[in-house]
Amino acid sequence: MTPTALGIAGLAGLFALLALRMPVGIAMLLVGFIGFGLVNGWAAALALLAGEPFVISSNYELIVVPLFVLMGNLATVSGMSRDLYSAAYAWVGHWRGGLASATIAACSGFAALSGSSVASALTMGQVALPEMRRYNYDSRLATGCVAAGGTLGILIPPSTGFVIYAILTQESIGRLFLAGVFPGLLLTVLFILTIYIQTRINPDLGPAGPEMAWSAKIKATSQAGFMTGIVVITIGGIYGGLFTPTEAAGIGAFLALLLGLFRRKLTMAALSSILLQSVRTTALVFLILIGAFIFSPFLALTHVASNLVGLLTGLDLPGHAILFLVLFVYIILGMFLEGFAMLVLTIPIVHPLITALGFDPIWFGVLIVIVLEMGLISPPVGVNVYVVKGVAEDVSMGQIFSGIIPFWIAMAVGLVILIAFPQIALFLPNSMIE
């Protein structure tokens, strides 16, 4: 069997293991080890298996993962999510569909602390859904905006998706974080515009709430100022060159810890739960990365990626046509694969193609993360949909998916805008102080 045929067989075996519900990190590690052994010898495979886990685990840049995860968990316990929602509601709650718009705005703010779409959807769902139910919001709009808003967690920095993409492609984590800022704000605006259009067509979907006094607005905004300060310090510090993403993560986690202590929210039981959850999430991310770095050398030896690059670049097609084809394949895969699994499986193959076509890999990273977001709310996998279903048990899956469709379309529009105007993503990273 030729190396390329062995590589294709390895990919088929990997997808078979994933279909059998084997964790993606374990599946890649197993297929990568066996495949590398068959191609390059078992002694080399054992050396790879012994060395790569240590290399990944001792990678200084990956300290951002546990620190930003810890920061998000501390922010949740300290009540920042409710502060964000209250501030957003104070200003837009009296609009038609205002509670849903406030949910999107709060998800956008919480994303700048959590870096996780699941955490954003779960936390904001617990805060916002009872309020929308109290004001008789249509269940499709209510659950749809929470599921869609939660996806901003992996686009607006700090983003675990960007960290994994950076490690897989050897790109700058700081540049990727900054590249996600304006696209994240763009999607936030598109989501709010989607709510406006829906409630304009059918006002019963999201009735207007009472308008709050100016004193109440100012009080709610000031309470959310702690969160704003942490975001400005961490992201602004990266942009200004004051500290690295790793240092920003440490500072953000420390400030979130101080806020939790100041508000007397951090009991020993709460702190123990926060630390345990942070370790579990970090271990999951590291296992996926270790599996990817065992699988990638096997894939490189089989020349599957280089042959695919040669095939596609040899076609008489414009670069953007190939780009749209790649993104379309990602959208289809997103219906069946979990986002991080799709990222680590495909980036070693797709990244060489994108660079060969002359596209900016930082910009492409933003496009990929948005496509991953679309997968988070696409049937039948739609992880965020199941998270929201866990909070809104009385709403059927069909209703939630129905409510998501307008937001999915808004994400597709945002994707097209970013392809047409790459500078939306590239302005901040290209102007950052190194």
397 in any annotated domain: yes
3 in any annotated domain: no
What average pLDDT does the structure give for the chain? 87
Which domain covers residue 106, as residue numbers? 62-286+303-431
Q: Is the pLDDT of residue 209 over 90?
A: no
How much is the pTM? Answer: 0.86
294 in any annotated domain: no
Q: How far apart are CA 293 and CA 52, in angstroms?
A: 7
| pLDDT value, residue 345 | 80
Q: How far apart are CA 193 and CA 182, in angstroms?
A: 16
Residues 6+ positions from 1 with CB-CB distance below 8 Å: 9
Instruction: Domain count for the chain, please give it.
Output: 1
152 in any annotated domain: yes
391 in any annotated domain: yes
pLDDT, greater one: 84 or 371: 371
38 in any annotated domain: no
Q: Tokens in use for 30?
A: 């197993």
407 in any annotated domain: yes
pLDDT band, very low/low/confident/very high, at 158 (cuts 50, 70, 90): confident
Average pLDDT of the residues in 420-424: 96
Quickly list H helices, 205-338: 214-223, 225-239, 245-262, 268-302, 304-314, 319-334
pLDDT tens-digit map of 243-254: 888 898 899 899
Q: How far apart are CA 429 and CA 233, in angstroms?
A: 17
33 in any annotated domain: no
Average pLDDT of the residues in 29-52: 92
